Amino acid sequence: MFIRWRYLVAAAIAAPLLGLVLAWSGLVGIGAASGHWPITDWFLHWSMRSSTRTAALGISVPPLDNPQMLPMAAGHFEQGCAMCHGSPAAPRSAVVFGMLPVPPDLKPRVPIWSDAELFQIVQHGVRFTGMPAWPSQQREDEVWAMVAFLRKLPGMTASEYRQLAGLAAPLRPGMSAALDCNACHAENRLTGESLIPSLAGQSEAYLRASLMAYLKGERQSGIMQTAVNGLNANDVAGLAARFTGERQRAGAPAPVNPRGADVAAGQALARSGRPEDRIPACLSCHEREDGNPLYPRLFGQSAPYLAGQLRLFRDGERGGTRFHHLMVRAADNLTDADIDNLAAYFAAGRDADR
Ligand code: HEC
Ligand code: HEC
Ligand code: HEC
């Protein structure tokens, strides 16, 4: 008995050493071309499934039925995912078939995962596979938009996809369109319900400073950080100059007020603030003729975008320009009802101010 134990201990010490020696010898191939042994392949997928399932247990799923989640997610899919996974508009490029594992066509894969599991995979990526994590880890709303989009992916036609992603022309296989900013921001693609902001009417200074904030990671958005990836300060200045001239869409549809928010209460709060809760008057900074050009225009912006940004500020998840701390302080004590009322008031625009 005693001897058996000694063997066991010796084996426990020798096995890792042998492994080290084997790795050092260089005899273990790390080339991707020959693929994994079937047992390795099975083991890797099994551990990936188990790990994803366990991690997803603690995730609660928000409502995913807002169709406004789809355009920004589709645009981002085209910029950040299609080069590996292909899309309804174009198959995977030949290059990715040399990867190990090969990034799967997602159509048959999406249905096997729950919403929380998809969130887990897209937010955190998959180690050792090339599947990247979401570019910004601080906020969850964008990843949930992507989950909503992935759910629709299996049944999506090429033309529906192109429409959602704002792609003009059919793509060559494996080519991802150099997405224009207008794929997402074109004024004629936006409505009063959009989650994508309108850039029209913002000052050049605010546009430039915001783009630089995304570029430097000082404002978190996986979608926008991907869109500006690779640009430099000159490119950014050019884009800011180009978009500052844009006009807000003429004859825009009336702003929607889906939550039945109280526009008058929003107006009162915007004008006077609420000193007992240390909420300042929004209009002391915003929408002033003589205002700082780094304070953005809010009138006419969609209510869902405004409300989303206010929640991010309040929850400490919205960075921005060098003045963003002013806004963090202003949003600190807003209630959910305040946010809906303020968003409805600012979306209704100057008309509500008469
Ligand atoms: C550099 C290539 C690459 C990019 C870019 C990429 N992925 Fe992946 N993705 C992979 C690989 C490889 C796997 C397989 C992982 C595995 O087998 O464990 C994968 C797996 C997945 C899965 C799980 C599918 C399954 O059943 O194995 C989903 C869902 C997914 N990716 C979504 C996305 C989304 C959404 C994006 C864009 C935000 C994206 N991927 C970007 C390479 C990529
Ligand atoms: C895939 C869709 C998509 C593309 C492409 C895209 N954007 Fe955006 N953009 C968004 C979304 C979504 C937001 C809101 C992000 C956030 O919450 O911070 C945004 C925010 C912005 C903002 C901040 C606006 C504000 O009111 O604070 C600017 C400026 C901007 N984008 C400019 C651009 C420019 C310039 C390009 C082209 C280089 C571009 N975007 C490409 C979706 C996109
Ligand atoms: C002291 C000045 C100040 C006050 C007061 C103020 N803001 Fe702001 N607000 C800012 C600045 C500066 C930014 C730009 C933050 C950045 O991106 O750097 C901003 C940004 C915003 C944004 C984001 C707009 C976009 O396009 O992304 C919203 C929404 C907003 N403010 C709403 C409000 C509301 C509602 C109030 C009143 C409760 C308010 N602000 C009070 C200075 C102020």
Kindly report the CATH number assigned to the domain that includes residue 282. 1.10.760.10
Same domain membership, residue 133 and residue 94: yes
pLDDT on residue 256:
60
Same domain membership, residue 334 and residue 274: yes
Question: How many A from CA of 310 to the centre of ligand 2?
Answer: 16
Identify the residues whose C-beta falls under 6 Å from ligand 3: 197, 210, 279-280, 282, 284-286, 294-296, 298, 306, 309-310, 320-321, 323-324, 326-327, 330, 342
Q: Is residue 190 part of a domain?
A: no
Same domain membership, residue 342 and residue 288: yes
Supply the CATH number for residue 159's domain.
1.10.760
pLDDT on residue 173:
57
Q: Is residue 255 part of a domain?
A: no
Residue with tokens 């020959």, as numbered in its chain: 34
pLDDT on residue 47:
87
Question: How many A from CA of 128 to the centre of ligand 1?
Answer: 12
pLDDT on residue 250:
54
pLDDT on residue 39:
84
Report which protein residue has its CA nearest ligand 2's atom 30. Answer: 211
Tell whether ligand 2 has an atom less than 6 A from the beta carbon of residue 321: no
Q: Is residue 76 part of a domain?
A: yes
Same domain membership, residue 277 and residue 244: no
**Residues with Cβ within 8 Å of residue 207, at least 6 apart in sequence:** 199, 239, 240, 243, 244
Low-confidence ranges of the chain (pLDDT < 70): 1-3, 30, 33, 169-179, 248-259, 352-354
Tell whether ligand 2 has an atom less than 6 A from the beta carbon of residue 296: yes
In order, the DSSP letters of 297-343 are P-TTS-HHHHHHHHHHHHTT----STTHHHHHHHHTT--HHHHHHHH
Domain hosting 75: range is 47-169
Same domain membership, residue 314 and residue 202: no
Same domain membership, residue 315 and residue 268: yes
Judged by its nearest atom, the ligand closest to the C-alpha of residue 335 is 3
Question: How many A from CA of 98 to the centre of ligand 2?
Answer: 33
Q: How far, in Å, CA of 293 to CA of 66, rounded?
A: 33
| Predicted structure pTM score | 0.90
Question: How many A from CA of 179 to the centre of ligand 2?
Answer: 12
Q: How far, in Å, CA of 78 to CA of 176, rounded?
A: 6
Same domain membership, residue 349 and residue 320: yes
Tell whether ligand 2 has an atom less than 6 A from the beta carbon of residue 286: no
Report which protein residue has its CA nearest ligand 2's atom 34. Answer: 181
Same domain membership, residue 137 and residue 106: yes
Q: Do the Cβ atoms of 66 and 136 come closer than 8 Å?
A: no
Question: How many A from CA of 10 to the centre of ligand 2?
Answer: 61
Same domain membership, residue 106 and residue 55: yes
Q: How many domains does the chain have?
A: 3
